[in-house]
Structure 1
Amino acid sequence: MGIMPTYCQICGLPVNFDHYLPQDDGTLYIWRGDEGEGGDEDEDKAREPAIAFGSQHAWLRRAVGLDFGDGPAVEPPMEGEVHSGYLEPDDEQREGQYVMDGAFDVAAVHRACWVLAGHPDSFKPLEHLQLPEAEEPYRGQLFEFAAFVADGHGWMLVDPDEDSPDGRHSRQRIIALLS
């Protein structure tokens, strides 16, 4: 089974907590932190994630799938969680969509980024955006959370709706990306 990273097409950060943990035998364990496709919640609980995920990070897992605006619309935009490149909708009546690394059948964005963008019905008004280069060194097969935080970027992982210095800074960053 493969692993697929998915990055928000607005802010460039991951839309899940999936990351590698080096093991003593030199292999890598994929920490998913939930029961998503291929995940093992019990095994994840036995391991510590690379960073201490808390409530200020929950926004990273809330995704919206936006239609590209050039075909049959996904109406309304689909909300859910992404696991291995697949957006699983909150609404069980809807069929999931592939987002792969962030743009495939639909474009994946964080719900918080979507709200800051003005709740667009499709990705069309956002198609001019480029993934921020600052996060590029951390975007690999999976996001390098530990290195990102160690390099002083942990504030970017904080919920932009949080009323804290890091939350406000995160919000200002996303608003600047949308300008």
Structure 2
Amino acid sequence: MNATVKVWDPLVRVFHWSLVLCFAVAWASADDWQDLHEIAGYTAATLIAFRLIWGLFGPRYARFRQFVRDPKVVAGYLSDMLKGREARYLGHNPAGGIMVVALLLGMGLLTLTGWLYTDLLWGEEWVEESHELLANLMLMLAGLHVAGVVLASVRHRESLVKSMITGRERVPGEADVN
């Protein structure tokens, strides 16, 4: 058995899987169960607010400053990925970090447009269309996120899904970025 180290704290893991659930419920209930759709949306908005706070004050791997990197670093990492020689990171790699930002921003805008449409601008077609467009973009981002997780899991021979359940990753080697 490989030695592991704690990376993901329980609140990050609960946040992650709760947001996945909220998005899935909201997506599935969008046309048929308005009350459930709204509950999922407001819950997602609350989760995002929590994550923004936790990204500033939480433990090391939860903090934005640990994984939000300069665009040049992200571009270099993506280039290395295409060549099959990207480094293994403990926590989010540069591509994962930018994906976290994109997902939080997208979900934030999605919940904002949902709230606007429900409470302030009911019947405004542009708000409804913006909300639907953002939902489709989020589905696309979620697919890219899952693809990135699968790719990193295969390349680095460790299950990132399992680490988001247990909170633990393989102890870093010499070439890994901590």
Instruction: State the structure with bigger RCO (CA 8 A, min sep 6), 1 or 2.
Output: 2
- TM-score, normalisation: structure 2: 0.28
| Structure possessing the higher radius of gyration over alpha carbons | 2
- TM-score, normalisation: structure 1: 0.28
More helix by share: 2
More strand by share: 1
